[in-house]
Structure 1
């Protein structure tokens, strides 16, 4: 069984090596002629002309460079772009960069002259990447196309590739049909190299089905035919396969003969590689010598140009000096304008800061004063044992303390945000439970005003946000909703599946509402907002500004919908958690 596995592996290796070898004849003559004829009308495009010449010379790196330069010109000529993408896709394939090759080839329009060749290349890439079904889809589209439409490629090659795909998929019946069909065509074409691989593939097909008697004759054909080639790799592999066959037959003397032949071709292949390596080194040495000569000539030319154009450069230097003086003068004027604008902005920010401190201190003083007054009444209620009034004062104290705490909390977060000290970590969060947790802390305040609250957020809503900043946003919006709601009002929080990227979180109340002017004022990007229209309910606007900053930092969006006397909707669009697959 081990021997059989070994011979099967070698047979496949023979096929693959033949496949690779056939690809080394990169641009056949027929195809080269067609490329020259079809693309000649674009030779006025300098970059394209160079790309075409390097493509035909099989210099893939230079082809990639100049075809990219041509594409960067943003030409609207579809055919010209198709040629450039084809050159790039073909070059990437030769460099074994298959993903880049597929990307370029898929950009080619179906009207391209060589579109059948494009499909063939895409199929070959899929075959090399072991994506056999994908390769079959490409090759089947080419199955009934005449050879003349391939510009040098053969129908036998299509059948051969289909046979290889089905062989790898263990569909032996289809593999046999295509491989036999391909072999017959190759015998007519007398394509020796491809026939060696084809015989090896058929031998593999039968051997994988334990049809040794049918496999070995084809294997022998591959061996005898390999002797007519100059490819040492094919000769070496064919000899090794015959050695394994004879070992399976227990004919060890003959197997030894084949193994010696294998070693001979192996040594020949190594010698050939060494010769090629030496030739490559000689070529590199010659190129370096030529480069040195070119460098010397360039140095001499530079010296002559420097002597000839000395006066010219002196004149240019004077002009540049004059231009530099003019430039720096204009820059100075421009910088002065920028400094004045920055001073104006700084003055505005300082005024805003002073206003912020003034309102914050006023609100804190008002809260402390209200707390002192409430504590005096609370003490009096304790002395008189007026428990009804005592309960009212305790609730009042709680509301005052909560308002002051929220103000200080917003002020702290605002300071941390301004100094970039706040901790921020975005991750997947379930929106329903965050709303539920935050709203729980406001239950006493809502009960005090007899406000009906509903959490209608979808339990399937997943958002990608920082949890603490989202809670802070919800606290501010719920606090405002309670503050501006009437007794026995309603507050509803719900979600809307806005689009594939965002969930909308809506905090809706039935309170005082606002007109359009106030809404627009609230949406302005200012550090400090105006106080609310109701003088009994005042605020710095710091909380809303902080919310807008946090929403933006989370990659979200914010808008307000409101109408006076009918309530307000605060709408926060939050990025969805992207699910895998």
Structure 2
């Protein structure tokens, strides 16, 4: 019979994932890395790279590794830096950059076999099968003690996948059966699901249904016992294909429904940033939809109320009807009045927001236009000092406008409840350092000193992206309202049993007490700008308050005019291991 199915090949890549810093939780690969690089721990940047690698902080690995490679170091440190940098690119699925880093390693290198495993995995992902087989065969007969964290199971598994692509089913079956025996012995549930699914597909493509279907069922049964929605969906898809080809359409439909449900549970929240024009249009359309929805709800409620009242007039006495009508009229009037107030407030907020945003954007564009005219004149006159000054001015204008649009997008996502929010254990010091790194050049250009004093052991429970938005806005304000020669200090206070507190303190212009109280009030309003020379709407501060509250935190401000401002953020502690 013809089988209308699509093979599911779940490639199990070299498992080097690291979770936490606890040595007991390190994988064999991590232990090998730690053992063979202890002699380089005296280099603080390389030590940080290792820490970030063990914590899956791949962006930080790339930042610090670039700093190491930009300075003279020994060839051994360079080799290990290129290796960990390539591994970070591999984990971020940037395979071309990963290969470039691996090729920059000079032999001899202790992790040469690990490089072969990674290159083979990349070749397999790119369907360069013969090249992948060449890499994996180097590892097939190596002693386990020399593999430095490479599991032989994965080598056998990937070789089976390669030969499956080549339709050399006999060789693929040999490797798969060896792999299945190994993962069953080690009770590796996810490995068994992968291997069962692939050998089932192998038999199924050869029309060996009696051999294939039991493995499909085993894979499906094991997937149900896990929390992995991807495996649940793929095994359900395979069972649906099996039952469809067996003409049991009722069961096939049941499995397809399960697949659809589990597919929907797989998170894909990487699309956060959009183009500035799209951000504005999205916010306007969402607000217009909200206004239209409220108007439609008002009309529906009015029609429903009138119909109900007319029905009552026909069955009850005039007196009771009059009393009831009077009470309902008062109640409905209050509801309608409240709804109208809310609608008016929303419209006023929207109008004020876009009025201020459009005014500030137009002002920044006009300023940029005038600055470019001056820049052109300076270029014609070859006044290089003036050119540099104008370029700095242009950069400040563009950065201010970009920050305004960034806040507008985050505000729109927050208002429409479409932003991805996932509170987890976060090392506060590293998050702050990561954000501050992007502002060092701006502070240096403006002549500001910035430093961070937060204990590395301080962990808080918060959503990482929203915490970064809060930090960026607080730093933007501190830089914006602090003159050249001033300073910004980010530090933590004494901890309470429930909260960890960090403070962004500047030596800027400060603020009046009435403005401080307005910013801390529970009302969501847009404040009139106190400094007309600064781009801003007050939206960033409202965004900070909302995101801190959503993370279960507390926000406070201390400020003295002419002395400076302290922005105080307290977040729930999370110092549990794991």
TM-score (norm 1): 0.43
Instruction: Please tell me whether Structure 1 or Structure 2 has the larger radius of gyration of its CA atoms.
Output: 1
Higher helix share: 1
